[in-house]
Amino acid sequence: MIESSTFDFLTDLRHNNYREWYHASKSRCEAARNNVLETASEMIAGINRFDSSVGYPDLRKCMFRMARDTRFSPDKTPYKTHIGLVFSPEGNTHCKTSVYYLHIEPNGSFVSCGLYMPDKPQLKAVREAIVEEWDEFSQIVQDPIFRKTFGDLCRENKVLQRVPNGFDKNFPGADYLKLNSFYVYASFPDHEVCASDFVSRALQILEYTAPLNRFLNRAIQNG
């Protein structure tokens, strides 16, 4: 589980987001990141029970750095105020596939699965797979448990106003073809993240996403 001290560090970092404070608090940062790694180590075994394609990568290589890339951002604060980690066969944070994801942040923690802002070839491959395998895809996203847990695929990012060129605007799943990302997530309040059953609850939710993960990665592989 995630310790309350991990949230304490991230909260303090949010209020002291500058290099001098961060370097003076490096031991707290390492403790927080190690806590997330310990939780991720518990999760990876559970994920492999329903999706063995993930394997057992070096989780340190799957954890995002705390330093932010501020070169093209109006926000010049130097550090992220969350800790994120991906679970994927590629074993790093530069994934070109659909992934499972753990995000730890005060009042903003969640687990997620899917493909976020894929490049043009991947996007085309997924859209074509949705059309060609609509029966399978529709069963995944219309599954009652999937619907109850996530509602539907997220539409928080850019969504096209029209069906992209080359696709039938009358296709029954046309709204999915307008998406530029294909993912779902489930949020957890801080007290649930710090509870002893957090890992088992997170794994149960991620297991509901396994069919979506397999569909997306097969589409990319075959595209």
Question: Which residue range(s) make up the domain with 186?
Answer: 4-222
The CATH number given to whatever domain includes residue 178 is 3.30.930.20
Q: What percent of the chain has pLDDT over 70?
A: 100
Q: Say if residue 96's pLDDT is above 90.
A: no
Which pLDDT tens digit goes with each residue over 76-95?
Answer: 899 999 999 999 988 899 88
Residue 158: the pLDDT is: 67
pLDDT higher at 27 or 70: 27
| Rounded Cα gap, residues 51 and 156, in angstroms | 27
Q: What is the mean pLDDT of residues 157-181?
A: 92
Task: Report the number of distinct structural domains present in the chain.
Answer: 1
Residue 159: the pLDDT is: 84
Q: If you search the block for the tokens 């310790």, which residue do you land on?
A: 3
Per the DSSP assignment, residues forming a β-bridge with 159 are: 179
Q: Supply the Cα-derived Rg of the chain in whole angstroms.
A: 19
The full DSSP string for 122-179 is HHHHHHHHHHHTHHHHHHHHT-HHHHHHH-SS---S-B-SSPPTTS-TT-TTHHHHTB
Q: What is the mean pLDDT of residues 84-108?
A: 94
| Rounded Cα gap, residues 124 and 104, in angstroms | 31
* pLDDT grade for 156, boundaries at 50, 70 and 90: confident
Task: Give me the chain's average pLDDT, please.
Answer: 95
Q: Say if residue 119's pLDDT is above 90.
A: yes
What secondary structure, in 3-state letters, does 142-153 show? CCHHHHHHHCCC
Q: What is the mean pLDDT of residues 92-113?
A: 95
Question: Which contacts qualify for 101-107: CB closer than 8 Å, 24 or more apart?
Answer: 101/185, 102/36, 102/39, 102/40, 102/43, 102/202, 104/2, 104/6, 104/7, 104/10, 104/36, 104/193, 105/10, 105/81, 106/7, 106/10, 106/11, 106/14, 106/81, 106/190, 107/189, 107/190
Q: In this structure, are residues 217 and 53 in contact, taking their beta carbons and an 8 Å threshold?
A: yes
* pLDDT grade for 187, boundaries at 50, 70 and 90: very high
Q: In this structure, are residues 49 and 30 in contact, taking their beta carbons and an 8 Å threshold?
A: no
Pairing assessment for the beta strands 182-188 and 109-115 based on DSSP bridges:
antiparallel
Q: In this structure, are residues 88 and 56 in contact, taking their beta carbons and an 8 Å threshold?
A: no
Residue 26: the pLDDT is: 97
Q: Say if residue 215's pLDDT is above 70.
A: yes
CA distances from 192 to 45, 131, 187, 220 (A): 21, 39, 10, 35
Q: Say if residue 150's pLDDT is above 90.
A: yes
* pLDDT grade for 167, boundaries at 50, 70 and 90: very high
User: Three-state SS for 34?
Assistant: helix
Q: What is the mean pLDDT of residues 90-103?
A: 92
